[in-house]
């Protein structure tokens, strides 16, 4: 199982963003490093949720991915995944989340109660990753 390490301040920021953004889902990219089987998240870049129904899903502008890739490369980091919130639900991926997912990225979801879970594609489905707060 892959482990995602998340600094506590980033965890707190994610929970706050999620609360402030409700009822819409908030979303953004996670920058960091791959360290063996561990994904180290070091920075979060908030993105605008451009979904037609932002309370029911999220969509990130493709331009924003490019911007984030450049930003990460300039800092010696990589884009290691995506975060988004489920302001009225559990932090479990939806069918839409599954359709949008790319391999090799971590997908952190913040639930309505502020709980965080992380997921990664394995073939055509998500498997859960461990989150380690540090
Ligand atoms: Zn979702």
Concerning whether 25 is annotated as a catalytic residue, the answer is: yes
**Å from CA of 93 to ligand 1 middle:** 5
As a three-state string, the secondary structure of the chain is CCEEEECHHHHHHHHHHHHHHCCCCCEEEEEEEEECCEEEEEEEEEECCCCCCCCCCCCCCHHHHHHHHHHHHHCCCEEEEEEEECCCCCCCCCHHHHHHCCCCCEEEEECCCCCEEEEEEECCEEEEEEEEEC
Domain boundaries in the chain? 3-133
**Å from CA of 33 to ligand 1 middle:** 24
Query: What number does CATH give the domain 3-133?
Result: 3.40.140.10
pLDDT tens for each residue of the chain, 134 residues long = 899 999 999 999 999 999 999 999 999 999 999 998 899 999 999 999 999 999 999 999 999 999 999 999 999 999 999 999 999 999 999 999 999 999 999 999 999 999 999 999 999 999 999 999 99
**Å from CA of 10 to ligand 1 middle:** 19
């Amino acid at each position: 199982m892959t482990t995602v390490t998340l600094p506590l301040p980033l965890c707190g920021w994610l929970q706050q963003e999620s609360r402030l953004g409700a009822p819409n889902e908030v979303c953004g990219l996670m920058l960091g490093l791959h360290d063996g089987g561990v994904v180290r998240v070091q920075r979060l870049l908030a993105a605008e949720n451009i979904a037609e129904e932002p309370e029911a899903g999220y969509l990130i502008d493709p331009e924003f991915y490019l911007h984030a890739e450049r930003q990460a490369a300039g800092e010696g980091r990589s884009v290691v995944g995506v975060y988004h919130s489920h302001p009225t639900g559990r932090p479990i991926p939806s069918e839409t989340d599954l359709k949008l997912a790319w391999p090799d990225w971590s997908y952190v979801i913040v639930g309505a109660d502020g709980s965080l879970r992380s997921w990664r594609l394995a073939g055509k489905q998500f498997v859960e990753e461990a989150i380690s707060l540090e």
